[in-house]
Structure 1
Amino acid sequence: MKILVVEDEPKLADFMHKGLQQAGYMVQTSHNGSEALNKAASENFDLILLDLMLPGMTGTDILKNLRAYKISSPVIIVSALSGTSQIVEGLDLGAVDYIKKPFEWEELLARIRILQRKAFASESTKISVNDLVIDLMTRLVTRAGKQIQLTVKEFTLLEYLIRNTNRVVSKNQILENVWNMDFDPESNIVEVYMYQLRRKIDKGFENPLIETVIGIGYKLAGTKSSL
């Protein structure tokens, strides 16, 4: 699940980002309303956590523009504005939920899980690429019927590759989407995790799925389908 956190308070944004990553989600963060809208318009997010009081553009205006642009990413408002009028307006503009600040972390995670279950109830939770099957809800991964144990970060990396099946993703894109890090030519974190993931996904199988595209990045190649 790919989440956009829109929060201008740096400490809270960092706390939410790290917490969501630890919970196994792909996370991007924006501190500015206009920047957030551009991100939402150019990338597909499964959920947007939206503050209302933002520089550049208010959360209310972001909601109006999302709907005007036919961007269907679900939005949960996370705001200190807790009056009935603000809640009603946010929900009327298309937000699926409203959480008042300060909030309990476990409550936020529970609201996200509820949203996941609702989304998965109307569509398949399983995606296959050839004989590799990943269940986004249970986080169960199998290949040719054999269960594969992945760490939280390995699963997040595999989910990102599967979302981009047959497309080359660069090291920079992986760092931004899986680790939310700017490109660092000295860092080998992507290479380390790709090695570990390949060892679990491809080792012992005749046809490897993960390819290195020299000088560009990586690609998970195969026939993708929902089960």
Structure 2
Amino acid sequence: MLVAIYHPQAKRAAALGDAVEAAGMAAQLLPPHTNDLRPWIDSCFDLLLINPFLDWQEPFDFVRLAVSIVGRRPLIVVSDRDSLDERMVALDAGAADAVGWTDNLPEVVARVAGLLRRSRIAAGQLGEGELRIDLIDRRVERAGRLIRLPLREYDLLTNLARVPDHPVSRDALLRAVWRIDFDPGTNRVEVHMSRLRAKVDRGFDWPMLHTVKGMGYALRSRPE
């Protein structure tokens, strides 16, 4: 996932970019929009992050301009001050989220990741890191490689992908995939998870699917 970033202060822009990349996403630093909007319009980013409060332009107008560029993609506005007024300007102008930060990079990155996840679900997509799941075409890819899955394995994967890096219990998977509200005393979950691992993990550099002892199964978005 590519996050495009504009901050009028180069050091702050670089700090945001480094934090985004440390979280496993790609970052692209945009040049000032006053010189040429073409790099903003032509960039194939998945989310735009801007600070509109330190330029000559009126912040409300700047955010409205950014909204017109992103289309259906999410826009998050950051302010270098913890200012309710500035956050309200951004939200009133149409930003999907707004956050004040000084050195609180973890919160900014968490909000970016949350917006990306919600926007992909709204667009009919799931997946983290190398994994891409198209919920409309029922297409699964890992690192650009197509993975063909039968229905049960596809349903298992999508349920795990909805909550990446968090374990899902065996009982929850029985309810979600097989519509069973009791333990049938069989190993159907284990069998299908084994088959799913063979297709999603085998031949790749690191395993995404993990058994979490006493808790269930989890899809990891990055190597441990």
* Alignment TM class, shorter chain as reference: 0.5 to 0.7
5 Å-filtered alignment, 1:179-190, equals: none
Q: 1:105 to 1:144 in 2, by over 3 A?
A: same
> What is the CA distance between 1:2 and its match in structure 2?
0.7
The alpha carbon displacement at 1:57 in A equals 4.9
One-letter amino acid matched to 2:125: S
Task: Give the number of the structure whose alpha-carbon radius of gyration is greater.
Answer: 2
Alpha-carbon spacing, 1:41–1:101, altered in 2? closer, same or farther (3 Å): same
| Residues in 1 aligned to 2:60 and 2:96: alpha-carbon distance in whole angstroms | 14
Would you say the 8 A contact 1:33–1:57 is kept in 2?
no
Distance (whole Å) between structure 2 residues aligned to residue 26 and residue 10 of structure 1: 18
Give secondary structure in 1 for the equivalent of 2:72.
Answer: coil
Give me the CA root mean square deviation: 3.5
Map of 1:116 onto structure 2: 116
Q: Does 1:85 align with 2:85?
A: yes
The alignment status of 1:17 with 2:17, answered yes or no, reads yes
Separation in structure 2 between the aligned mates of residue 31 and residue 10 of structure 1, nearest angstrom: 10
Amino acid across the alignment from 2:78: V
Specify the SS of the correspondent of 1:11.
helix
Is this contact kept in 1: 2:63–2:95, CA < 8 A?
yes
Structure 2 residue matching 1:33: 3-state secondary structure? coil
Q: 2:219 — aligned with what?
A: none
Flag structure 2 segments of 5+ consecutive residues without an equivalent.
127-132, 134-139, 150-156, 166-195, 208-224
Shift of 1:62: 3.3
The structural deviation recorded for 1:77 is 0.8
CA contact (8 A) 1:32 1:54 kept: no
For 2:21 and 2:69, how far apart are their aligned partners in 1? 28
1:149 match: 205
Aligned-partner SS, 2:76: strand
Cα deviation for residue 73 of structure 1 reads 2.4
Query: 1:40 — aligned with what?
Result: 40
- How many pairs align? 150
Match of 1:131 in 2: 147
Does structure 2 conserve the Cα–Cα contact (< 8 Å) formed by 1:66 and 1:72?
no
Counterparts of 1:79 and 1:9 in 2: how far apart (Å)? 12
Identity %: 18
Output the TM-score relative to the length of structure 2: 0.54
TM-score (norm 1): 0.53
Match for residue 107 of structure 1?
107
How far off is 1:35 after superposition? 5.4
Contact 1:44–1:73 at 8 Å: present in 2 too? no
Partner of 2:34, secondary structure, is: helix
2:152 aligns to what? none
Q: Distance in 2 between matches of 1:66 and 1:44?
A: 14
Checking the alignment, whether the CA contact within 8 Å between 1:67 and 1:94 is kept in structure 2 is yes
1:23, distance to aligned residue in structure 2 (A)? 1.6
Equivalent position SS for 1:34: coil
Following superposition, the deviation at residue 64 of structure 1 comes to 1.6
Distance 1:59 1:39 in 2: 20
Shift in alpha-carbon separation, 1:96–1:68, aligned structure 2, 3 A? closer
The alpha-carbon distance between structure 1 residues 10 and 120, as it changes in their structure 2 partners (threshold 3 A), is same
Shift of 1:100: 1.0
> C-alpha separation between the residues in 1 aligned to 2:23 and 2:94?
26
Q: Hey, what's the Cα distance between the residues in 1 that align with 2:35 and 2:47?
A: 16
